[in-house]
């Protein structure tokens, strides 16, 4: 069980919406919104009137995109083991790299920390390796077998506020410290991905955003406005981002 459910009733009013055909939509804790649309990676900073873009046409559709640090965007292609690192205006920080140049292989997930370290998940060894911003290994291999083993595999990982969060769809979310040591595990099976709102772990299911507090183990519920074709929704304090098949919209809660 995930503790007690406490509904957070709130009315929301729409602030803005952007129509967009996309194959990928997400946001970061600064409420920048990212999309892949017609071969471009787009970043919409608030108030969402303009977008930065990066051309992906020669690279194709990435296997994972990590936007969570806000300052660096990491784009990763598993088949070619190609890594692209962009700055906050979507310009290449360095030329695209291949992981064999860094002495890494069998990597399925790459993500960055707030201080520009990079973590690499090796699915064969079930381990994490950390390189610093100059691609020097600082943590060589954190073995995760004591936490989970194949066929349980992580679908999603982010670094946020000195923790690492791993989503294992069959079991839940694991929280590790900055060095990859186990801190705690949350039994939350069946979620595809999640986002952080302060200390809360938030995930969307059936028109409800669940906000789990890892300290109190309480889960709040936020009912989102009834709009069609919702794919996912993120919450940041009083703000709501709704991702739809036709684009995204941003709402603010109205306190009575």
pLDDT tens digits, 47-65: 999 999 999 999 999 999 9
pLDDT (tens digit per residue) in 176-190: 999 999 998 888 888
Taking the C-alpha atoms of residue 39 and residue 237, their distance in angstroms, rounded to an integer, is 32
What mean pLDDT comes out for the span 106-118? 95
- pTM of the predicted model as reported, rounded to 2 decimal places: 0.92
Enumerate residues 6+ apart whose C-beta is below 8 A from 74. 64, 65, 66, 83, 84, 85, 110, 111, 112, 118
Cβ-proximal residues to 200 (8 Å cutoff; 6+ apart), any chain: 211, 212, 213, 220
């Amino acid at each position: 069980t995930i503790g007690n459910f406490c509904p957070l009733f709130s009315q929301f009013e729409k602030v803005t919406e952007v129509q967009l055909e996309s194959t990928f939509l997400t946001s970061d804790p600064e409420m920048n919104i990212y999309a892949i649309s017609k071969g471009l990676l787009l970043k919409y900073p608030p108030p969402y009137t303009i977008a930065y873009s990066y051309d992906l046409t020669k690279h194709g559709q990435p296997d994972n995109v990590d936007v969570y640090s806000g300052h660096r965007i990491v784009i990763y292609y598993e088949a070619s083991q190609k890594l692209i690192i962009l700055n906050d205006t979507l310009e290449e920080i360095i030329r695209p790299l291949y992981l064999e140049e860094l002495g890494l292989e069998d990597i399925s997930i790459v993500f960055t920390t707030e201080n520009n370290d990079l973590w690499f998940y090796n699915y064969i060894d079930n381990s994490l390796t950390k390189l610093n911003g100059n691609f020097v290994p600082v943590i060589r291999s954190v073995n995760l077998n004591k936490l989970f083993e194949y066929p349980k595999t992580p679908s999603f990982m982010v670094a946020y506020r000195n923790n690492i969060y791993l989503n294992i769809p069959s079991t839940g979310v694991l929280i590790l410290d900055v060095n990859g040591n186990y801190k705690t595990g949350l039994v939350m099976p069946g979620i595809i991905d999640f986002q952080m709102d302060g200390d809360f772990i938030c995930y969307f299911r059936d028109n409800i955003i669940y906000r789990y507090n890892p300290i109190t183990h309480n889960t709040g519920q936020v009912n989102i406005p009834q709009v069609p074709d919702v794919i996912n929704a993120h919450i940041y304090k009083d703000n709501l981002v709704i991702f739809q098949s036709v684009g995204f919209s941003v709402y603010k809660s109205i306190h009575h």
